[in-house]
Amino acid sequence: MCINREVVVHFEITKTRVRVIMLKPQLNQSHSLLNVLPFIHGDSANHSSSFAYAPTILRQHTSFAKKSNATGARSTSIAGNIKAVSIPFLTKETTVKCVITILPTIGSTIDGISNAGLSLGGVTDVVSDLRGRSFLLELVSNDLDSNGNQKTLRAYARYEALDFDVSIYTYKCNFDVPEDFGKIGAVLVENEYSKKMFFKNIVLDNGVTFTCESWVHSKNDNPDKRIFFADKSYLPSETPNGLKSLREQDMESLRGNGEGERKSFERIYDYDVYNDLGAPDEELSLARPVLGGEKHPYPRRCRTGRKMSSIDPLTETRTALPFYIPADEDFSEIKQATFGAKTLYTALHAVVPLLESVFADTTEGFPLFTDIDMLFNQGVNVPAPDDGILSVLPTLLKKTDDTKNAVIQFETPETMDRDRFSWLSDEEFCRQMLAGLNPCSIQLVSEWPLMSKLDPEIYGPAESAITKEIVEKEIKDFMTLDEALAQKKLFMLDYHDLLLPYVNKLRELKTTTLYGSRTLMFLSPDGTLKPIAIELTHPPYDGKPAWKHVYTPAQVATDLWLWRLAKAHVLAHDAGYHQLISHWLRTHCATEPYIIATNRHLSQMHPLSRLLLPHCRYTMQINSLARLILINAGGIVEKIFFPDEYSMQLSSDVYDQLWRFDHEALPADLISRGMAVEDPTAPHGLKLAIEDYPYANDGLLIYDAIKQWATSYVNHYYPQANLVESDEELQAWWNDIRTVGHGDKKDEPWWPQLKTQDDLIGIVSTIMWVTAGQHSAVNFGQYDLGGYIPYRPTVARTNMPNEDPTDEEWQSFIDRPEDALLKCFPSQLQGIQMLVLYDVLSSHSPDEEYIGGNTNATWEAEPTIKAAFEEFHGRLNELEAIIDSRNTDPNLKNRCGAGLVPYQLFKPYSESGVTGRGVANSISI
């Protein structure tokens, strides 16, 4: 075909690429430009396609190429009368190498490319590997092109190898990046495999890193590409133009629309009420009220969208398999850190039924104290489970010579190992309130007489039966009641009003009992607490009046045994409150809305998202497992703790009456309980009501370190207060937490405002404290501090012997008071189930992530943040020696003395297993 123009092409050779300039039109040119330059199609060595440079350019060039191939000389028509034109897609380019790191699922191995594909997803994935098309990556520039469109470059990554030393897959590709492409700010990823893959990071050799730590779904499940942003953090107002739409698109993809049942590969964060704890479809007795809403206020959980019950349309149906959580919250396939979740599931799902099969009478108590000791000396014979269960619980389940049986044998708890008789001590009973499993319930007595706020028409007289005369009889060697009140020497554990509404309900269950309780203590001159009195109460029932009795420390035999039984009831109340409130509600449950809101409203490139991420990991997974087998109707919590089937309803009551976000930071919590007052001259700015208060003293070290780290971080990214108030993502995040995640409390006046740096520092310090410090304090000591049943029973099953006894019952108590105490303790089955639960919950995983232990790439990318984190890490390292020194100081009698378990729960680091120390970054178990 003849044309009237031709192109003279001048080749300008550079070190990296060829630049082509059309100098002037020429006549009688009969060949296509593309025939002259075949290399513009790109090479075959996994380089990026030049056509992918920008959407607008891509469309023009594609059209140009089609015309060239079809009509030859018409390809030159774009030149027109132009004398010299630079072809933009042939400008100078630099090859950028890309390495993708993928974490293999636990147990998978690779030996060559074909095995990689088979391990990952089967034959189809082998084909993807052999074609060099495992992942499609598309780099995105921070800048838009001249037409306002994104600049992108695409390349397929190809499998390279498995590094057996660090257990990672490696994939590689190259990008030919034009010199005017601008800074690379994002990457879009399409997973060509048939299964989701866990991306650890994507690293370019030009200094750009994408820290992913995320699952990427298969394109077969979802055609949308995953978006990852480079490690540099941006506030919304600072977002580069080329990334603004991607930033919003990425967050929008996580919010969902509140409809449909969620699928395992999805990453949707949405809210729902706790309407899946009951199982009325299985049995009507397993129906439970919905938690969340006006009747039973409660935090929100992650929505799963399962169908509703045919029996109760307000209850969501349950499944035998773990419930849905967003894919990025599920680490079970790639992290040993979730061994705790898997172990917990195995222990409760498989071992508990084994135990139940052993006991013909599940309510039978321990006949003798030596039978309790035998749990640690000889163990319990059970039918042999399969080898898979044995491998998950190697420290608990052991094979025997008899292949039909196995033994569940427990390690001796630290309290029993150091002093087997410490549970008899009144001082140790009180010391638990300061350095035990639940050191966050004790409060100062500031008013007298002690009064109930409940309706006296329903619950009986409001005034406590603990009188001035009773108190002064116990403290007469020290001071009067008025002096003790004035000098802040009286403290109390108060479960009276909280439990009294449940007393009659629980007594109807026949297998247990309950009282409302108050425990009064006196701070002696040596800094230790002495018990003064325990008041046990039940309201009117069956036409009988309210019953109250006050027990005091005694030496006379009968009164002494009554005192021991009263202490057992109080300890059971405290154990249940600890598990349901201090542990579950205040850490696990209250934190889930923070995690949901963070993913819904803070972009992954938002600096606050990157600050909070280490404190959010694993929590939603362990919470979903708790709903499945722990806190559900008929679950282990109902079986072994005193509130029984009313356990979660009780936690809703506490949330309604007592939970306040502004009291969740340690200093505010201490002040709210009267355990401290502000004092600028005192360490940490607080003067403690009890100077030797191990939980408070060590916890404040952790809290202050957290707050200093948060202060440095926040002030770096928000140098002016107006940046806080104008940050739309930040404000949406806080609004979501207050009005949706904790929406039943949205109208409370105590919610902190979010207008200044100090406001933000206080909020994030509280969240970081709850997830790290507070959770560690109430979780990792459970086995050592709660595992010996006489030291801390989880339920008191019998009424006090002096509550309306028959003559025969009273004589039985007089003859064998020890038997009465053993019958009051948990049953054999309950005690063993408790030990299994405590053992698993108290264990650190082999790759536990501890507070301040490891930095991350996004912090390393900012020198100021890197330096602040190193300071944070250094302060935490110093705490080890400080705590060790305190535990050996003989002047600190609440943590140092013969047979005392040293208080180590706030020592930042630990080896794996049950250690009684170590502050994990997040609520991982």
Indicate which residues carry an active-site annotation.
Answer: 583, 588, 775, 779, 925
7-41 burial, b for 16+ CB within 10 Å, e for fewer? beeeeeeeeebebbebeebeeebeebbbeeeeebe
In the three-class reduction of DSSP (H, G, I as helix; E, B as strand; rest coil), residue 177 is classed as: strand
Contacts of residue 768, Cβ cutoff 8 Å, sequence gap at least 6: 612, 615, 706, 710
165 contacts 185 by C-beta, under 8 angstroms: no
Residue 535 CA to residue 452 CA, distance in Å, equals: 12
Residue 195 CA to residue 208 CA, distance in Å, equals: 27
User: Following DSSP, what letter does each residue of 641-664 receive, concatenated?
Assistant: STTGGGHHHHHHHHHHHT--GGG-
Residue 824 CA to residue 816 CA, distance in Å, equals: 13
Identify the H or E element spanning 251. Answer: helix 244-255
Residue 575 CA to residue 642 CA, distance in Å, equals: 8
Reference 227, options 106, 147, 328, 335; nearest CA is: 328
C-alpha torsion sign, points 669, 671, 674, 676 = positive
| Pair type for strands 150-163 and 197-204 | unpaired
User: Following DSSP, what letter does each residue of 827-880 receive, concatenated?
Assistant: PHHHHHHHHHHHHHHTEEPTT--BTTT---HHHHTSHHHHHHHHHHHHHHHHHH
Reference 419, options 900, 887, 783; nearest CA is: 900
C-alpha torsion sign, points 385, 389, 391, 394 = negative
Identify the H or E element spanning 186. Answer: strand 184-191
Residue 209 CA to residue 907 CA, distance in Å, equals: 33
Reference 168, options 229, 110, 210, 226; nearest CA is: 110
Reference 97, options 184, 167, 224; nearest CA is: 184
CA atoms within 13 A on the CB side of 500: 25
Reference 196, options 332, 327, 302, 338; nearest CA is: 327
Tell me whether residue 464 is exposed, middle or buried, using C-beta atoms within 10 angstroms of its C-beta: 0 to 12, 13 to 18, 19 or more: buried
